[in-house]
Amino acid sequence: MKINILVGTMTGTAQLCAQEIELALDGDEVQVATLLMDKLDPSVFADRAAVYLVCTSTYGQGDVPDNAKALYGALCTAKPGLAGVRYGVFGLGDRTYAETFNFGGKRFDEILQALGAERIGERYTHDASSGTLPEEIAMEWAQQWVEKVRERLSQAA
Ligand SMILES: Cc1cc2nc3c(=O)[nH]c(=O)nc-3n(C[C@H](O)[C@H](O)[C@H](O)COP(=O)(O)O)c2cc1C
């Protein structure tokens, strides 16, 4: 199984989560690659054999982080067909921003679904005000998520 983690971050928390997920999952059977979203374009989704994990925070007024803006914008304007792409979302945010809580992950989820991609598992929404460490939660969440990916891939085989 190949997992490509795409990281949208402003101050590095989502990247730290991705690193922990990579450490937790990478091994003989699962190969994990972590890519910062900077300079990525929608062709990153070309590898249908891979499963994608969008790991992104939220900034501004419910925006994706700066390093994710080009990729997100290109998905919205170029609208590439993403049928056959499978993905999960680990989102970071803060409930203090009640109106736009976790909108970064939500925006990616919505555009990927609109383009025909299939989400595996529920979108996770970490809350920075919860007192939990996102990188610890990410590790635990990823172990459960990868089981769902396994189930989905075995159905498809
Ligand atoms: C200026 C600023 C704006 C933010 N806006 C939002 C927001 O609209 N919605 C939300 O859920 N979280 C928001 N957050 C919280 C961040 O998404 C959260 O702290 C996250 O863990 C940061 O991750 P990062 O270091 O990977 O960028 C904001 C944080 C800052 C500093």
Q: Domain with 11 in it: what CATH number?
A: 3.40.50.360
Side chain identity at residue 128, one-letter code: A
Question: How much distance in Å is there from the Cα of 29 to the middle of ligand 1?
Answer: 34
Q: Pick from 19, 59, 133 the residue to mutate for probing ligand 1's pocket: most ligand atoms within 8 Å of its CB.
A: 59
Q: Could you tell me the residue range of the domain that residue 41 belongs to? A: 2-156
> What domain count does the chain have?
1
> What is the atom index within ligand 1 of the atom nearest the CA of 101?
11
Q: Is 56 in the pocket of ligand 1 (CB under 6 A)?
A: no
User: What does the alpha-carbon distance between residue 145 and residue 139 come to, in Å, rounded to a whole number?
Assistant: 10
pLDDT in tens, 70-98: 999 999 999 999 999 999 999 999 999 99
**Furthest C-alpha separation in the chain:** 43
Phi, psi of 66 (to 5 degrees): -55, -40
If you average pLDDT over residues 16-28, what whole number do you get? Answer: 96
Predicted TM-score (pTM) of this structure:
0.98
What type of residue sits at position 44?
V
Task: Quote the pLDDT of residue 157.
Answer: 77
Q: What's the rounded Cα separation, in Å, for the pair 36 and 68? A: 8
Q: What's the average model confidence in pLDDT over 17-29?
A: 96
